[in-house]
Structure 1
């Protein structure tokens, strides 16, 4: 019986021929029947790949056999089978699209000038020593934080990664520039760049959670400072770090706690919003709040 697994990893390292790496990665993943998303740029690779555990292991071994990727920090999680609709391997100017490629310098050692990496245990040590002085800063899109975030974290008003520059240059976070700021994201890649951008704009003491929320959840489960579920970009939509995780998201129709996102029924919108399983089964509020406010009916009688 197949055992579906998903791996998430990134490596910042200079690549002389991203197109060649793209072709190799596509051929490798396709030959093993794997699906998912791989982004390659002159600065490295960012990948989320899923399939049967034996095929995924072959993919990981082959990828690490390439010298620039041999130290890739591979994060494993359980899949559900057919977690991705297709295999997509692309070359892009940036591994994470902040729109600030000219600010980032990548060497064989990784991104230069970023925040200090904190492993989960070191993060707890910092919190023990500095207490409420420490500020969590969410490096994901704001929607993802609706179902899970670090306790009392600041969640910038962002719909896309490109929005972060306007946010950190707006002045609304200037009071944090003298405080210890811990940036975090799903697997760590966005904070590699975000921490540089923040330091370049006057934030003096910036950290980044090493391995992201995924590594933290593996280490502390539901016993640490993480609350709720982790949004993921595959068929699962969300994952929890053990039994008993309390949902911090709320259904738009009935306000019950839920981590479940659905797409707006308006085909011109398709925005994701929270709706519990019960309300989804009964087809309550099939449109997002924005479409409801625009005059699309909030209730549709279940068929």
Structure 2
């Protein structure tokens, strides 16, 4: 009798676990874009990202040294190269685009197209052939991005190169992801690799900040809130939740949750920063999600 009474409760909890974790993941993932938009009012992108990556790396360093396999020079060097592409170019690219006032939701939409870019690059680089459904899904997703992009051009004041920068940084990250496949030197625990990536980014963003005049953080409440937001929520909470969900649920299911972050980002930007939210943007977003769904099924 006791076992029968407990069983429905356990089933109910397991059913509630996925929507709860998915909602937290979407909020955490989208908060990275919103946090950069918020903190960029107080400091340049170089200063902002220097302190974000430095604080993240320093907090991770004791765990990276104490837990996990010993990090050899070759493995660290390989991770540094990936950190240049995945943190400095990718993160710096879309942060600079947000600073130039490319709509935050559009930046999130383009940045989250990395899996589609990886699928497209896998064929010429790795010889992994795509199905007709995957090519169709990719074309549909790109069409949706173009709809949102052309509509946002009517409202934004960002230069055209800032839009291209977002696409370029996303493609660099996808290329890095494809190139790292099969390289054993890049296979290490997440907390170790993320520590190396963030510290690599801190060095490069620090050089950029010094070239622009200095790295002193603005002593304002807004900048402090932005740093706490970016380090604790957008970096640690979001990544920890993401990798925990990968162990508990299918990869496609977790990826589908991440694709919900662009509409949430658009809503955040609309409510917090009064960024436009038009019917054309919503239409383009819906088209993109259909394309992503088709490609993910393939």
TM-score by length of 1: 0.24
Bigger proportion of residues as strand: 1
With a CA cutoff of 8 Å and minimum separation of 6, indicate the structure with the bigger relative contact order: 2
Bigger proportion of residues as helix: 2
